[in-house]
């Protein structure tokens, strides 16, 4: 079986990581976004396995973090915000993010369903070690997905001390395609002059990731205005 082609940039990153470790640096962080293909990941895995015995000394991330990040990115890229909302989150108090979620079946399951829901985003008024990490409620049916999302988003300070609570209604099975349902919902919202309700699409198993992506998109887009408002109220220099 021929070897997978290796991108020279990925090879240089691998060499740099080796030098960093041998130079006695405190930690080694290799992100999967730096890899050009699955072959590069295969190349790195034996290297990381050799280092796993030195985790305590150097703080090296375990090799399964690569798989977690790849899985998270794959889920993130499989969902879509087809009708975005442009309003920023409130800097003080809670914000409700309303949405329609259109889900498609996988494989032999050709069913399409629609549900309406909302995500309430609140900020802790007093930050403590117990609430500095983001908290997600009712997004995922599988605890594995919940833990994966919690781990990935906890690495960004913009999600610190946020609580996201998702509430969704019953799923309604429809006979139309995803595209037809999206068109119908767009017309409905346009006729109602409604510009605060998003439309999301996703494969059925990734429903929670679609709603979470919508919420995090609004949080990231709102951050500059929220920071400015905090400065104006004297909470930031």
30 or 66, which is more confident? 66
The answer to whether residue 1 is domain-embedded is: no
Domain tally for the chain? Answer: 2
Q: Which residue has the higher pLDDT, 80 or 44?
A: 80
**Most distant pair of Cα atoms in the chain: their distance:** 64
* Domain identity same for 168 and 217: yes
**Of the residues 57, 75, 93, the one at which a domain ends:** 75
Residue 3 within a domain: no
Give the pLDDT confidence score for residue 92 in this predicted structure: 74
What is the reported pLDDT for 46? 46
Question: Between residues 228 and 236, which one has the greater pLDDT?
Answer: 228
Q: Which residues contact 52 (CB under 8 A, 6 or more apart)?
A: 60, 62, 63
DSSP string, 134-169: -EEESS-SSHHHHHHHHHHHTTSGGGTTEEEEEEE-
Residue 124: which pLDDT band, with cuts at 50, 70 and 90?
low
Q: Do residues 95 and 42 share a domain?
A: no
pLDDT(133) > 80: no
Structural domain harbouring 124: 80-232
Domain presence at residue 237: no
Kindly state the tokens that stand for 52: 């796993």
What pLDDT digit, counting tens, does each position of 167-185 carry? 999 999 999 999 999 999 9
Q: Are residue 117 and residue 174 in the same domain, yes or no?
A: yes
For helices 207-232 and 143-153, the axis angle rounded to 10 degrees is: 30
State whether 33 and 135 are in the same domain: no
- 195 in helix, strand or coil? coil
Q: Higher model confidence: residue 151 or residue 15?
A: 151
């Amino acid at each position: 079986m021929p070897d997978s082609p290796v991108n020279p940039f990925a090879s240089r990153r691998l060499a740099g990581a080796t030098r960093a470790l041998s130079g006695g640096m405190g930690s080694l962080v290799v992100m999967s976004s730096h890899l050009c293909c699955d072959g590069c990941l295969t190349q790195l895995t034996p290297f990381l396995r050799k280092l796993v015995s030195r985790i305590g000394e150097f703080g090296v991330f375990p090799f399964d973090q690569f798989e977690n990040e790849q899985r998270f990115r794959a889920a993130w890229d499989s969902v879509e915000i087809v009708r975005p909302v442009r309003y920023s989150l409130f800097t003080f108090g809670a914000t409700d993010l309303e949405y329609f979620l259109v889900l498609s079946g996988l494989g032999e399951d050709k069913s399409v369903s629609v549900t309406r829901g909302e995500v309430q985003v609140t900020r802790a008024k007093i930050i403590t070690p117990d609430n500095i990490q983001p908290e997600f409620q009712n997004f995922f049916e599988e605890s594995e997905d919940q833990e994966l999302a919690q781990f990935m988003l906890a690495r960004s300070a913009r999600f610190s001390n946020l609580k996201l609570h998702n509430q969704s209604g019953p799923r309604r099975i429809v006979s139309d395609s995803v595209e037809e349902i999206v068109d119908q919902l767009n017309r409905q919202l346009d006729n109602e002059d409604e510009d605060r309700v998003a439309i999301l699409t996703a494969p059925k198993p990734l429903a929670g990731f679609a709603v979470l992506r919508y919420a995090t998109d609004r949080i990231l887009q709102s951050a500059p205005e929220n920071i400015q408002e905090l400065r104006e109220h004297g909470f930031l220099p």
